[in-house]
Amino acid sequence: MRAYLYDNLDTDCREPHEQIPSVPVSVEELEASGVLYWRLKDENFADQIDKICEERNYKNRDQITVSKEGLGELFDAKIKTFFAEHLHEDEEIRAILEGTGYFDIRDKKDRWVRIKVEAGDLIVLPAGIYHRFTLDTNNYLKAMRLFKEDPVWTPLNRPCDENPYRKAYLEAIEAN
Ligand SMILES: CSCCC(=O)/C(O)=C/O
Ligand SMILES: [Fe+2]
């Protein structure tokens, strides 16, 4: 995983969009925005996932392959939905199994922070954080999606600042 400030250029979102010079963002800075990160080791990947699931009460899981082949005729629509700035009323928890991609999150100053993920990365975006997702130019990512109860995937597009989960998120990170 690498994270850095996004350059905000209006070009292909699958390009890195890293500012020159780069402005790296640390795991601690991500945590200040409520984003959690684990690096899972190949040799005991399953055990580590199970441990995190037990500790954080994630009871269910499934898998998604974000690629033309994996999503078929839904591909274009899904890619567009994923990259529209949105929030969820539940955590977004993804363990990357194969491939690469980018999660962009809004930090405390409302700047885009780009998080490059690859196989072995587990990321948790808190409920209420504005974010988006895109593949990179490899056009392939397979992820395990973890959730506490039934999955709530509904993306609520910005602006939804009056949403109670948005307000609770802002209060929580303010207290950080
Ligand atoms: C890497 S899983 C696909 C992206 C997704 O599920 C989502 O909600 C993006 O914000
Ligand atoms: Fe999302």
CA of 104 to the centre of ligand 2 (A): 10
Given the CA of residue 155, which atom of ligand 1 is nearest to it? 8
Q: Which of 61, 81, 82, 87 to mutate to test the pocket of ligand 1 (most atoms within 8 A of CB)?
A: 82
What are the pLDDT digits (tens) for 67-108? 999 999 999 999 999 999 999 999 999 999 999 999 999 999
Computed over every residue of the chain, the mean pLDDT equals 96
* Ligand whose nearest atom lies closest to the CA of 127: 2
| Cα angle value 100/24/157 (rounded, 5°) | 60
CA of 27 to the centre of ligand 2 (A): 20
Find how far residue 26's CA is from the centre of its chain: 15
CA of 110 to the centre of ligand 1 (A): 20
Q: Rounded to an integer, what distance in angstroms lies between the CA atom of residue 143 and that of residue 141?
A: 6
Per-residue tokens: 44: 């005991």
Q: What ipTM is given for this predicted complex?
A: 0.96
Residues 103 and 141: beta-carbon distance below 8 Å: no
The pLDDT score that the predictor gives to residue 151 is 78
Annotated binding site, which residues? Answer: 86, 88, 92, 131
The residues whose Cβ lies within 5 A of ligand 2, an ion, are 92
Residues 134 and 101: beta-carbon distance below 8 Å: yes
What are the pLDDT digits (tens) for 30-45? 999 999 999 998 889 9
**Strand ranges, E, within 110-160:** 112-118, 121-125, 131-135, 141-147, 156-157
Closest protein CA for atom 2 of ligand 1: 143
In Å, how far are 38, 50, 107, 144, 145 from 149, measured between CA atoms?
A: 22, 16, 27, 15, 12
CA of 155 to the centre of ligand 2 (A): 6
| Cα angle value 170/39/21 (rounded, 5°) | 70
pTM as predicted:
0.97
Percentage of the chain exceeding pLDDT 90: 94
Residues 138 and 99: beta-carbon distance below 8 Å: yes
Instruction: Return the C-alpha torsion angle 8, 95, 156, 154, nearest 10.
Output: 150
